[in-house]
Chain A
């Protein structure tokens, strides 16, 4: 079966840096997504990692280690609007079907 694990909740201060971890044990691996979801809204795409290493995109960076089944999302210069749920999703199989983790609720306070 597929198992994707991420912390349930994290808190951080405005302007700080926060790292959200995701570990996975899946049957096969094609790639890993990170999505941001504000309450009551659909998820929005943040990143997609296929190869090991760090990919930086503005204030957000995503890291992947396939051998360790591990990824993290790094958010820099946190803003209040970054308060949201962050979903890790692993894509497996020939159909590239993504399986989502439970999401990490990030609370940014002043």
Chain B
């Protein structure tokens, strides 16, 4: 199956700093990638839909200036948590679909990135 790689797997940072998380589709092109956030024992909450070559579409309640998403190529999307605070500590997961499919198959998930803000 298709492989999505997410980096870093875990990161610890100081409050007020910015953290960038990368999501790469390794063996396929992904026109659309999704960024999710997951708190302990909670489900995946969609933060935004990342579209290659255009602005991301954010879900209601998600601050676009705080969670910057860039989808510069068909294989890479990045999520930058700006001026991170302890409440931003969470598990961030990206997912992607193979280019050319639209809801006709599975989402491929990255390994997830666990962010801890001190």
The answer to whether B46 has its CB under 8 Å from any CB of chain A is yes
A77 → chain B closest CB, angstroms: 24
Residue pair B102, A33 in contact (C-beta under 8 Å) = no
Question: Scoring B residues 76 to 118 as 1 if CB is less than 8 Å from chain A, else 0, what string do you get?
Answer: 0000000000000001010001000011111111111010000
* Stretch from A11-19, A36-44, A58-66, A67-75 at the B interface: A36-44
Count residues of B near A (Cβ-Cβ below 8 Å): 28
Query: Mostly helix, strand, loop or mixed at chain A's interface?
Result: strand
Count residues of A near B (Cβ-Cβ below 8 Å): 24
Decide yes or no: A42 and B32 within 8 Å by CB, A100-B43, A100-B44 being known contacts.
no
Neighbouring B residues of A89 by C-beta, 8 Å: 44
Decide yes or no: A103 and B106 within 8 Å by CB, A42-B93, A95-B32, A97-B34 being known contacts.
no
Enumerate 30 A-B pairs (CB-CB under 8 Å) in ascending A order: A31-B103, A31-B104, A33-B107, A40-B112, A40-B114, A41-B111, A41-B112, A42-B6, A42-B93, A42-B109, A43-B93, A44-B109, A45-B106, A45-B107, A48-B106, A87-B43, A87-B44, A89-B44, A91-B103, A95-B49, A95-B57, A96-B97, A97-B34, A97-B46, A98-B107, A99-B46, A100-B43, A100-B46, A103-B43, A105-B41
